[in-house]
Structure 1
Amino acid sequence: MLFTLLPWLHTFGEKTHVTIHVDDSYKPYSYEHKKQAEGVYIEVLKAVFNNMIDFKVTMVPIAWQRGKQIMAKGKGFGLAPVFFHGHDWPYLYPYSLHFYEEKILPVCQEHIRPKDRKVWPNNYVGLRINNVVGFDGWGGEKFRQFIEKGKIKYGEVRGIENIILMTGLGRADCFLAEESSFDAVYSSLVKSRQFDIGIRYSSLVKGPVIGLDPVYIGYSQIAIEQGKYPFHKKFMKNFDIELYKLKKSGSVANIMRKAFIEH
């Protein structure tokens, strides 16, 4: 007899098998290496998932835009790491407890003097500012209005490494970044001599923090409404409880400190 095995029926022993899609190019937080998910956030999520005794969770790295499309079409259960988009992504809801808070800031060529440009985005009118593809929550509503009115030139680039290198070559004045992610990748590029300041690339300088954004797992509202994952309430509650325990014990902070060194 032929039948279709539903995603939520995949089991590992007594456990329900669950797939969470994760960003494949957001170093050092979440990225793909040898077809596996790695990164600082991945280590935190692994620690939580390992404590969820009723579930076997697999994290699948995916291009960010593709991940959003899968959630919008109801073809996947959860996507991480995401900011809260309940107000503008109708397909992604609800959200887990947050497991980190990111600091978003502009990084610019040195001659732009970003440290003197303290009012965002008003002090950045007339500049070309790039952003990571799909990270449309960065910069705020007024920034988006300035882009629509042509006051700021805007572009999107895939991956933090590419956006750093392009700006260093003078192909943009500034770009938006998460501070710790920029610090880690920029330092790695300089140490590996892929970013030779003064030879091929210009110096990059961080501007003021323009946003503080908690990071979550976001769940596909479309898939849940279609009944594709009847375990969703149990999974979400279990994840939040185990994450809460790890945060309260200080384990999340310890995991992240160690993971930043390794990644």
Structure 2
Amino acid sequence: MLFLLVVMLLAYGALWPLDAGADIKPRVTILVDDSYPPYSYESNGYLYGIYIEQVRLAARRLSNHYQVILEPIPWKRGVAAMENGEAFALLPPYIHKDKRPYIWPYSVPLGEEAVVAFCNPGVTLNNILNRSTQKAPINIGINAGFLILDKELALAREKGVIKIWENKDTLTNIKKLSKFRLDCYVNDRLSTLMGFESVKKERDDINVRQFREDRVVLSRTAHIGYTKDNGDKYPFKYDFIKKMDKALLHVQKQMRE
């Protein structure tokens, strides 16, 4: 009887690691822009946003296969982590195959954003290439790490008729715009309008009515961007992307109904 008991225990012990391993789900970390309301932002240690809720709902549908972690990070640091091969995924970049070759592929679209320029009175970016190079350049603020200039503004930058200033976030840019340290600010329309509302609550001395929408710069879709690394570091990569895309499409369909 004792011999039989020992054999049974050894057999059970041999099987145990297999059973335990079957319950271990890969931990998938997605870096998230921590200061991009209303799409993704951190407040009091918690993540909020339109894209955050989409991905959270999709992640629940993947919960039998993956443990999805959303990690807030300053945008520029998140992009650097992707470039250095230190991160698996980043939320929510636009598609830039040439300028960010280290990100590929991208998820299904999470939403479409209109990038616009808000300017101080008397300043315009319309017909910017006709501006004389003898005049002082127009100072334009953008969020650090953002790639949001169209071809016209990119050429204007090369010619020296505009100067680009990268600042920490939307609120920082709006405050500099209000002090005329910037002539214009280029960013997503909805994010900027929400920034105006936040600044009004914070600073009574800032008149956001002085800013006007000058022109639409471009329209782009936002995504989850994945590392281009196909090595052994993330063996689950393509399975996760396939399952996440399917879950996101299901969530978006539910939202429309």
Per the shorter chain, which TM-score range?
0.7 to 0.9
- 2:43 corresponds in structure 1 to 33
Aligned residues: 232
Of the three residues 226, 230, 239, the one matched with 1:219 is 226
Q: Could you list the runs of 5+ residues in structure 2 that have no partner in the other structure?
A: 1-20
In the alignment, structure 1 residue 196 sits paired with structure 2 residue 205: yes
Alignment of 1:82-93 (within 5 A): 82-93=93-104
* Aligned amino acid, residue 232 of structure 1: K
| Residue of structure 1 aligned with 2:250, choices 241, 245, 255 | 245
| Worse-matched range after superposition: 175-184 or 11-20 | 11-20
Residues 50, 12 of structure 1: alpha-carbon distance in 2 compared, 3 angstrom cutoff: farther
Matched residues in 1 for 2:33 and 2:209: separation?
Answer: 29
CA deviations 1:75-99 (Å, max 9, x no partner) are 1100011000112211111111011
Deviation at 1:247, TM superposition (A): 2.0
Residue 58 of structure 2 is matched in structure 1 by 48
1:174 equivalent among 174, 181, 184: 184
Matches within 5 A, 1:1-263: 13-53=23-63, 54-112=65-123, 114=124, 118-119=126-127, 121-122=128-129, 126-136=137-147, 138-190=148-200, 192-197=201-206, 203-222=210-229, 225-249=230-254, 251=255
What is the CA–CA distance in structure 2 between the aligned matches of 1:23 and 1:145, rounded to whole Å? 28
Task: Return the offset for 1:32.
Answer: 2.2
**Equivalent-residue separation in structure 1 for 2:23 and 2:179 (angstroms):** 53
Identity of aligned residues (%): 30
Q: Deviations over 1:50-78 (max 9, x none)?
A: 11131111100112121112111211100
Q: Where do 4+ consecutive residues of structure 1 move more than 6 Å?
A: none
Q: Residues 54 and 252 of structure 2 are in contact (CA less than 8 Å); yes or no, is this contact kept in structure 1?
A: no
2-structure distance, mates of 1:123, 1:210? 17
Partner-residue secondary structure (3-state), 1:146: helix
1:12 touches 1:56 (CA, 8 Å); kept in 2? no
Mean CA deviation greater in 21-30 or 165-174: 21-30
Measured after TM superposition, the shift of residue 179 of structure 1 is: 0.5
- State the alpha-carbon separation in 1 of the partners of residues 204 and 54 from structure 2: 30
- CA gap 1:130/1:124 in 2 versus in 1, 3 angstroms: farther
Residues 130, 154 of structure 1: 8 Å contact kept:
yes
**Aligned-partner Cα distance in 2 for 1:30–1:195:** 26
Structure 1 stretches lacking a partner, 5+ long: 1-10, 255-263
RMSD of Structure 2 on Structure 1 (CA): 2.3
TM-score between both structures, scaled by the size of structure 2:
0.82
Cα distance change of structure 1 residues 184 and 202 upon mapping to structure 2, 3 Å threshold: closer
Give the greater-gyration-radius structure (CA). Answer: 2
Distance 1:174 1:49, change over 3 A: same
Alpha-carbon distance in 1 for matches of 2:108, 2:231 = 23
Q: 1:118 to 1:149 in 2, by over 3 A?
A: closer
Kindly state the Cα deviation for residue 183 of structure 1 after the two structures are TM-superposed: 1.2
SS at match of 2:92: strand
